[in-house]
Every structure is written in C-alpha cells, then in structure tokens.
Amino acid sequence: MQRVLITAGAGGIGLATAKAFLAQGARVHIADINADAVNAAVVEQENLSGSVTNVADPLAVAQMYRDVVQELGGLDVLVNNAGIAGPTAGIAEYDAEAFSSVIAVNLQGTFNVTQQAIELLKDSPAASIITMSSLAGRFGYPNRIAYSTTKWGLVGFAKTLAMELGPMGITSNTIHPGAVDGPRIMNVFEGRADVSGRTVQEEIDAALANQSVKQFINPDDIAALVLFLAGPHARTISGQMFPIDGDSKAAV
C-alpha cells in the first residue's frame, strides 16, 4: 500500500490525484492552505488525512511531516503540487513583492517540502517525487514572468534531485500541464483579457489555437500520469519532463 503526500491536495489537480491514489488502495495525506477545503476533502474521502499548511513556512512544513508520520507511518510518494499564479502584468509594471511571493511558494515552498521528505522517502523500497511544473516551464510566458520563472526553476530542481537521490532508489520527474479545465484557468483568461483589451472568449480561442488538440486538460488525466510515474513500471524513469498540454506550441 503506497503512502502518498500531495501538497495543494484539497482541490483541482491535487484532489483529483488524491482520489486516483485512493482508488488504487493507497493511503493519502493532503496539505493545503485552505482549511475549509482540507476538512471537506477529509470528511468526504476514506483513507485520506490532511494538514492545513503554508509550504512557504518551514515550521508549518515540519508540523505537516509530524502529521504524515502519525497518519501514514512513512512516505513512498511526494507530489509537489503547491503553487500560486501571481498577477498578470508586464515586467515594467510587475509588483516586486508579488514576484517574491510567487518565488516563496513555488520554489522555496517546494524546496521546504522536498528537503524534509528525504528522511522518509529514503526508507521506502520504491520512492518517487513528482513535481508539477507547467507549460510555462517549457516556454516563455508573456505577462506572467514570476510564474514562468518558478516553473522553469522546478525543472532544474527536479533534475538535480534525480541525480542526487537516484542512488537511493528515489525517482524525480516533472509534469507540465497546459491549460487545465476549471475555475483557475478562467481566472487566468480574465486576467489576460484585462491586460490585452480582448474578451475572455477571444483569449480562450487564442489559447486553443496554440494547441494541436483543441481542448483543455482534464485533471483526471494528469492524475493518471502521476500514478504511472509513481508506479512499478516507472522505476527507471527519472529526471524527465512530461508535457500534457494538447501539443501546445507556446505559452501565450
């Protein structure tokens, strides 16, 4: 039975992934900054436990791992899913404090969670770290410089983990979703429309024009990819980038 920790696991991709692991008989612990969402998910799902956690705070992360040990007894899979988008603005107008906030969650937070996971993961017979990057971690992303910078940074982070942790039998890969269906991407399109002067529908059409497959990404499909990368047939897959984006040509 796999023991799984998913950050930002109370909604969206994180919750879809939690449900997918649970359906395969895993025990799952979610960490999320949204207390109401954590409580709702834990009540709804059997074999699911949770912590209210700000990943940017190392002390909060330490408490989360005390919860993980108490609830799961160890760890086999870490899914680094926590991240924030930040504002939509060109670099000349981009707020410096907002830039720092995105770095604090997306990069520093991922570092905090991963660093404190190693002692648990190295005791697993088949440990995996899956880090959620983005389409913006493969291309430049106009008006989203903080987000793109962090998502590119996670690639180097995960590749370095693969090299450092591979001798312990721990794999490390990144997943790069495109536009994921749901309320979050609609907020992005609304922000783009505010900057561009186009309508939200025009921004949606422009995004889909960039893809060979003209549809947004189903969170369940991302969850299925996470399960594969954490599963027995992916034990020699490490240090790799996995786009799931409808064959997008750019992040615009």
CB half-sphere exposure, 58, CA atoms < 13 A: 5
- Out of 65, 151, 159, 214, pick the active-site residue: 151
CB half-sphere exposure, 207, CA atoms < 13 A: 28
The string of DSSP codes covering 100-127 is: HHHHIIIIIIHHHHHHHHHHHHTTSSSE
Residue 251, burial from CB neighbour count under 10 angstroms (0-12, 13-18, 19+): buried
Q: Decide if 151 is catalytic.
A: yes
- Out of 147, 159, 214, 249, pick the active-site residue: 147
Q: Decide if 159 is catalytic.
A: no
Residue 32's contacts (CB-CB under 8 Å, 6 or more residues apart) are 7, 8, 9, 10, 11, 14, 38, 50, 51, 52, 53, 82
CB environment 95-110: b (16+ within 10 A), e (fewer):
eeeebebbbbbbbbbb
Name the residues annotated as catalytic.
147, 151
